[in-house]
Amino acid sequence: MAFELPPLPYAKDALAPHMSEQTLNFHYGKHHQTYVTNLNGLIEGTENENKSLEDIILSAEPGGLFNNSAQVWNHTFFWSCLSPGGGGEPDGDVKTAIEHAFGSVDEFKQTFTDKAKTLFGSGWTWLAKGDDGLEILQTKDADLPLKHGKTAILTLDVWEHAYYLDFQNARPAYIETWLDKLVNWEFAAENLAKA
C-alpha cells in the first residue's frame, strides 16, 4: 500500500501573511512530498509495504526508513498544528493541563520558545504527554514523541526550510508568530482528549 501526500487542512494561502503560500509550496509541496516518495520507494516489495505509518516508525532502525516515515508523520501532524484563525490563548482542558504542568500559559510559552530557539540544527519542538503529564520535548532531525512512548499534542517544525522564506534566519520571530497567530489549540484539545 503506497502512502500519499495528505491534503492540507486549509488552502495554501490561508496562513498568509504569517506563513506564505510560497513557503507552503516548498515545504508541503516539495519537502513533504519527497519524504512520501522516498518512503514508498523504501517499502515497496518489503515486509513494511502493508504496515501502518506508525508501525513502520516504531519498528524502523535509525536510517533512511525511519527518517522518511517519521518525517511523513511529523509533517502531516504539523500542518494540523496550524490554523488560519489560530494563536492566542488556549482554553478548557488544554489551558488547565498547561497551567498544571508549567504554572501558567505565559510560562509555557516562554519555556516552549526557549526550547525551540535553542534546538541546535534541525528538528522539532513538541508539547507532548507522557506518564508524568505534559512536557516540552526537543527532538533532532526526524525523531518524535511516538518513538519514546509519549503522545504528541502540538509541534513546531524548526528545520530551516519551515521558516527561511518568510523569516530568513530569524527563528525567534517565527516561533513568536506561531504562538501568537497560527497555533491550533483546537487540534491540541483533540489530541489531549485522546492521550
- Model confidence band, residue 87 (pLDDT cutoffs 50, 70, 90): very high
Write out pLDDT tens, residues 7-55: 999 999 999 999 999 999 999 999 999 999 999 999 999 999 999 999 9
Q: Say whether pLDDT at 56 is over 80.
A: yes
- Give percent above pLDDT 70 in the chain: 100
Please give the domain boundaries of the chain with CATH numbers for all domains.
21-80 (1.10.287.990), 92-194 (3.55.40.20)
CA 156-82-91 angle, to 5 degrees, is 95
Sheet containing 123-130: order of strands: 133-140, 123-130, 151-157
Model pTM above 0.95: yes
State CA 41 to chain mean position distance.
23
pLDDT value for 180: 97
